[in-house]
């Protein structure tokens, strides 16, 4: 399957799961109002309507976010309130969508990859271009050759540039474009780096699982995700297509 076709399939999976999630949540909210209706009337005659207004507002929020999200995936231009739609998607819809997807038998990898694909499209539409100092390239330590003893998490310049792993190529990209480059061993270090560098956009490299959770943790900061390649399995001597990374950098860099 070509990469473009894979992208379309992932997008369709995401659209289908979001539409299903939206329907389920709306049905659940309607039930939450109908089922206790009689009991609430005994407490106070207007109690069912107070609950109805609250649940109605939630229902409208879910419908608005789902419709906004589906439109932002389908339309080629950015919608008003695109950032808010991304927020509701990341914080509310994706956890529910993952649950629905797993129940329907889709693999975690398919679900997370479809989310990363759609997130990237939303980020591309929403964001402009920035000075190099406001762009952070955040990569995982598993890109480092497993036999290399240099400590890179505190200072990536400890790399001796021997060329045995992709860190060498990443340093070249950093030097060519003047962006920040950091190696993180986990979420805590990644958060510290983000606080220190204060980027406007993060271009993050990781596996589907870490990228998906990183995108959710970092919100409202936008994260453009690039999947790493794992020829030796997870977390060992992984690689990254540097061409894809350079193309992403050029998209966000001010000319």
Burial pattern 90-106, b for ≥16 Cβ within 10 A else e, equals bebbbebbbebbeeeeb
79 binds ligand SF4 (CB under 6 A): no
Near ligand SF4 in 165-224, by CB under 6 A: 165, 167-168
Q: Choose which of 162, 236, 247, 250 interacts with ligand SF4 (CB under 6 A).
A: 162
- Binding ligand SF4 (rule: CB under 6 A), the pick from 26, 55, 99, 148 is 148
Binding residues for ligand SF4, total number by CB under 6 A? 13
The stretch among 42-50, 78-86, 157-165, 194-202 that binds ligand SF4 (CB under 6 A) is 157-165
Q: Spell out, one character per residue from 92 to 131, where the chain touches ligand SF4: x when CB under 6 A holds, - when not.
A: ----------------------------------------
- Closest to ligand SF4 by CB, 167 vs 226, is 167
Question: According to the binding rule CB under 6 A, does residue 161 interact with ligand SF4?
Answer: yes
Report the alpha-carbon distance of residue 212 to residue 95 in Å, rounded.
10
Distance of alpha carbon 41 from the chain centroid: 44
Following DSSP, what letter does each residue of 84-115 receive, concatenated? HHHHHIIIIIHHHHHHHHHHTT--HHHHHHHH
Best CA proximity match to 114, nearest among 14, 209, 3: 14
Residue choice 164, 236, 247, 250 for contact with ligand SF4 (CB under 6 A): 164
- What's the first-to-final CA gap in the chain, in angstroms? 34
What is the C-alpha separation between 187 and 209, in angstroms, rounded? 12
Binding site for ligand SF4 (CB under 6 A): 144-145, 148, 150, 159-165, 167-168
């Amino acid at each position: 399957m070509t990469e473009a076709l894979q992208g379309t399939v992932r997008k369709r999976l995401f659209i289908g799961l979001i539409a299903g999630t939206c329907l389920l949540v709306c049905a659940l909210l309607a039930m939450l109002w109908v089922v206790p209706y009689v009991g609430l009337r005994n407490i106070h005659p207007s109690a069912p309507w107070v609950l109805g207004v609250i649940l109605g507002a939630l229902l409208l929020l879910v419908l608005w976010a789902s419709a906004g999200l589906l439109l932002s995936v389908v339309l080629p231009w950015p919608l008003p309130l695109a950032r808010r739609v991304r927020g509701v998607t990341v914080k509310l819809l994706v956890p529910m969508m993952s649950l629905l997807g797993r129940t329907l038998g889709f693999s975690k990898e398919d679900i997370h990859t479809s989310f990363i694909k759609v997130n990237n499209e939303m980020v591309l539409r929403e964001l402009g271009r920035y000075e190099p100092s406001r762009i952070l390239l955040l990569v995982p330590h598993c890109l480092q050759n497993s036999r290399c003893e240099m400590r890179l998490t505190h200072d990536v310049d400890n790399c001796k540039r021997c060329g045995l792993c992709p860190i060498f190529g990443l340093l070249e990209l950093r030097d060519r474009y003047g962006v920040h480059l950091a190696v993180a061993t986990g979420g805590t270090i990644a958060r510290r780096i983000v606080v220190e560098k204060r980027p406007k956009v993060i271009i993050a490299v990781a596996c589907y699982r870490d990228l998906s959770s990183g995108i959710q943790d970092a919100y409202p900061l936008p994260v453009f995700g690039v999947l790493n390649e794992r020829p030796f399995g997870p977390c060992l001597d992984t690689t990254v297509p540097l061409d894809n990374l350079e193309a992403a950098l050029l998209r966000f860099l001010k000319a």
